[in-house]
Structure 1
């Protein structure tokens, strides 16, 4: 019997468990709204962490990052400007990406190197090897003459080739503050701390970085022992592990001087139940500060999958994948619920925990959440029956409480994309066909489905492109639901009862990074221009489309790189230039004709 097999057999008899302020309990099937409180002391924190970790350490949490790391942005454009920026969920709230611009320079990060390009001169003015130890693809934020680079060092790993389980990894993620004032980038400070970067949001010059970390516990390797012996070994190890193992630490290097720190017990709060396997912390960094500090950490005993933010609030959703139970069937299954934590964001200083709650089902990504006129709207799909719903939550006495729900969307199907726009919502579910649901959310207590459009294929991202118009980016599919190629659909949603598709463009056998990462979408409302990466068996480049009335005008593919040796990743508009970017080059093209003007090799 393999290690993995007997582990799962053993797990089938474990109770679903969590911690409260005084004892380990088995949560009832229906949980009350979550409530966060601080630990009374480090002693209490240590006791409860051990108890929770003991009961959850043999469950396989898996990488709770969403399969679709969605972060595209650009809701409705605010006003005319000369450059586009990159796509974001909420206007005025920036998100980290591999390229940024302020209209006069383009800043990119790839291969561990940050580069600065003068947009007017169309030349590279400087570069900086960041010396990263974190292995994830770095991203960046920009404010004035400063860039903040985020490099993910987390993940999940098997300990000592022990295939019993994948445990949370304790890599070191990095946050770097870089000065751009002189044209030649200069490193100011480097923060390196435990855990993986979940995501970040920036308002003004202040960035909020969300990091998840697991305890540093050295579980023993015993060859091929009996399951009960391994479980007892793990319990003994946890019982003898000091509380410091759960508290993430960090080091900050500025000007050759390194200072170290560790999270204080007083900064940690807990929900009613938790695994002990993960800790979520929110760090605040001002890009205009002289140097990086410790980020004024605020921590919660939880994990995070999706981050959604507005100018003054931050929501972190956790799908509870650390919990496993038999559900009365003898089969191990994750509980069907998502925890949501809300933090307020002051203009300066650390965030403050405000409220938390739980909704049935799991979220697809950050676009599954939207705050509007005092309410949070959340779209989820159930693990158990693949039924989807949109729920409306209100804050009451520190709790996110459901006040209304529109249920029964796409029975037997999963959510593939969501977009909330004001009082309306749009949800795409898919199995063999693609119902696009239109919802009226104007009455929080009575959200309702008003219309439905069934077409072949699906939209993996919905992009607003003007009043009553949506672009769907996804895959066309045959009648059996088998994808056949990249699909761009133009929808008219002016009639809530009857959404309709006005036009469609298909690239047979094609695909686009924009299906998985909406940051790859450029929507430039000044000229109604849509640009996204496209690749098929023959070539890779960019696809440009103009939205004119009810039509997708002149879909045109063009080369996106200086030597035709890489796929386009992002597109920007600066002045009359359309810039396309890969990790190896930047191309400036005429926005109207798509003729190449200049190339900047970044290798």
Structure 2
């Protein structure tokens, strides 16, 4: 007997009385390996079918990998443009069933039965034509900022004859998306001169009815004003971050008048309660600092909470201490601030990481050391800073697990490895403790930017899809290893999936699963025959038996695409891929 695929992505919290999300072809077939408590949670982007009663208003996130338990298939996107269908029916074996090349650079996708709803950037030329797919051997060109995005419905019922059923041109570059119920919401960033864009930079939210996946329909659009990029430290506005509930989208970013007003951040609230996809403008929330990450925003028990810092988008350490604001969500059009606290820091430092967990919150700031701050939000009117802990390096992402926190961090000065996983005891918020830290990965990075853009598998809004924390005590971390000069020509030397064992009291470094082609995901598929981990990169899908996590054995390797250069826009945000600079791009190789 074989268990369901596990991607470690849980079902999102739904409003009281709403239905449980169905994924993977059967309701609940994907294991909930990551019991995040409060912040918005993303399930794999599959609903299996169109059962409105089973999946109504479920919140689903897209991913580059989709899983089909009923047919034992893996669907995987490559940065090089391919969409591959892999048969994983027999434990320890993988078989390529078919491939199709998509226009542009694939971003993410959803699965609705035998249809994949894909999103790609750089797919619509400046003259409005859908660009022809590149051949697999072709080099991926640097992004042309005049080009636009594309949403496509791909029929994969017969993997050997996958075909595009419908396409929709979307102005700009995809920043993020969600499916809520039977509606797909896509947020794109327009730079002011791409095809179909407005005359100035802005954010556009487009809704699509996907109740019939083979024939999706565009429903509505809302655009938000551009920011005054030229006056904000010379940096261009970044793509906005999205937080979703069953009835609302929160779209956060840089305020239009950030250079001239006291508050630099803005969060636009959109009413998405209409099950057919009609959008309505809601409240506008002003924040002290810009929103550079989805994790800065959260809604819990009728209250919206946000952490921001003035100046953090244009200076390394910000120019004020971060603020926590709590708003009572009376309706989509009425957000009333009821609580506020300014963080007390040991020195001026930049906000880097935020995570909410029910009545708790955690924040990371960074200069040379990396303090972890804890907060009690049980009284919305009196958010309270409780404790702090100074640690080296920078914790990039936090995963709450009750009385412990697991953090994925980076430290280019660490000779034992530029990446690390930390285990924190937060049973007593007033006295957080570092239980253990394990370092791994490359040792030749020379900056935080190089690690966030060349080593980590995803940006900060999507890193939780790569950093896997499984319920049986396994952690899997995909990463790429740059060569001596940041260019390793796709050899993959040193790249792979790092395994660790975790409990509430310990972290143990286990095997490194070597892999080429930019490792990006780790999928669990255990059976009576073996415990199996399937690693996915841009170029390969590889099966490993992990019965002994210190001595793994590779059992299958199938080529699914080509290794494409890692291209990222230069910018600040939280020093990740959050900002867009229009004066160049950072190129690389398949490190």
TM-score (norm 1): 0.67
1:128 is aligned to 100
Matched, 1:146 2:101: no
Q: Which runs of 5+ in 2 are unaligned?
A: 1-7, 14-19, 21-26, 44-58, 127-143, 228-238, 312-317, 445-450, 484-492, 562-591
Matched, 1:281 2:205: yes
1:51 is aligned to none
Matched, 1:402 2:329: no
For residues 404-423 of structure 1, the aligned pairs below 5 Å read: 404-410=339-345, 411-423=347-359
Structure with greater Cα Rg: 1
1:286 to 1:583, Cα distance in 2 relative to 1, 3 A? same
Matched, 1:362 2:290: yes
Q: 2 CA distance for matches of 1:99 and 1:85?
A: 17
**Does the Cα contact within 8 Å between 2:423 and 2:436 map onto a contact in 1?**
yes
Matched, 1:337 2:264: yes
1:582 to 1:214, Cα distance in 2 relative to 1, 3 A? closer
**Does the Cα contact within 8 Å between 1:150 and 1:175 map onto a contact in 2?**
yes
1:526 is aligned to 471
Matched, 1:494 2:427: yes
Give the helix-richer structure, 1 or 2. Answer: 1
**Does the Cα contact within 8 Å between 1:280 and 1:299 map onto a contact in 2?**
yes
**Does the Cα contact within 8 Å between 1:340 and 1:357 map onto a contact in 2?**
yes
2:541 is aligned to 586
Residue 270 of structure 2 aligns to a residue whose secondary structure is: strand
Q: 1 CA distance for matches of 2:532 and 2:40?
A: 24
Match for residue 443 of structure 2 among 484, 491, 509: 509
Number of residues paired by the alignment? Answer: 450
How far did 1:171 drift? 2.2
1:600 to 1:281, Cα distance in 2 relative to 1, 3 A? same
For residues 68-217 of structure 1, the aligned pairs below 5 Å read: 74=10, 89-92=40-43, 93-103=59-69, 104-110=72-78, 111-121=80-90, 122-130=94-102, 132=103, 134=104, 136-153=105-122, 169-184=145-160, 185-216=162-193
Q: 1 CA distance for matches of 2:425 and 2:12?
A: 16
Residue 405 of structure 2 aligns to a residue whose secondary structure is: strand
Q: 1 CA distance for matches of 2:123 and 2:328?
A: 33
For residues 196-595 of structure 1, the aligned pairs below 5 Å read: 196-216=173-193, 246=198, 277-286=201-210, 288-302=212-226, 305-320=240-255, 323-325=258-260, 336-346=263-273, 347-383=275-311, 385-395=319-329, 398-410=333-345, 411-464=347-400, 466-476=401-411, 485-507=418-440, 509=443, 512-514=455-457, 516=459, 517-536=462-481, 539-560=494-515, 565-575=516-526, 576-593=531-548, 594-595=552-553
Residue 294 of structure 1 aligns to a residue whose secondary structure is: strand
Q: 1 CA distance for matches of 2:390 and 2:240?
A: 30
Q: 1 CA distance for matches of 2:384 and 2:538?
A: 44
Q: Which runs of 5+ in 1 are unaligned?
A: 1-71, 158-167, 219-243, 248-275, 328-334
